[in-house]
Amino acid sequence: MMTTNSQKRELSNFTKSVLIAVLSGAFTLTTVFITSYIGIRQTRENDKKLLLERKIDLLDKTTKLFYKLPGIQEMMAYKIHNNFDTFIINPMDHQLEVVPKNYFISKDAAELRAEYFSILVQDQLYFGPKTKAFIIDSISNGAMKDKLSWWDTPDSLGQRLTEIMSSELTN
Give a yes or no: residue 43 inside a domain: no
Greater confidence (130 vs 1) lies with: 130
* DSSP string for the chain: -PPPHHHHHHHHHHHHHHHHHHHHHHHHHHHHHHHHHHHHHHHHHHHHHHHHHHHHHHHHHHHHHHHHHHHHHHHHHHHHHT---EEEE-TTT--EEEEPTTHHHHHHHHHHHHHHHHHHHHHHHHS-HHHHHHHHHHHHTTSS--STTGGG--HHHHHHHHHHHHHTTT-
Does residue 37 belong to any structural domain of this protein? no
Residue 53 binned pLDDT confidence (cut-offs 50, 70, 90): very high
Residue 5 lies in a domain: no
Q: In the predicted model, what is the mean pLDDT of residues 45-49? A: 89
Q: Is residue 56 part of a domain?
A: yes
pLDDT in tens, 76-104: 776 666 655 555 555 666 666 655 555 55
Structural domain for 131, as ranges: 50-167
Instruction: With respect to residue 130, please indicate whether it lies within any of the assigned structural domains.
Output: yes
Q: What pLDDT does 31 receive?
A: 85
The chain-wide mean pLDDT, for the chain, equals: 78
| pTM to 2 decimal places | 0.60
Considering its fold, how many domains does the chain have in total? 1
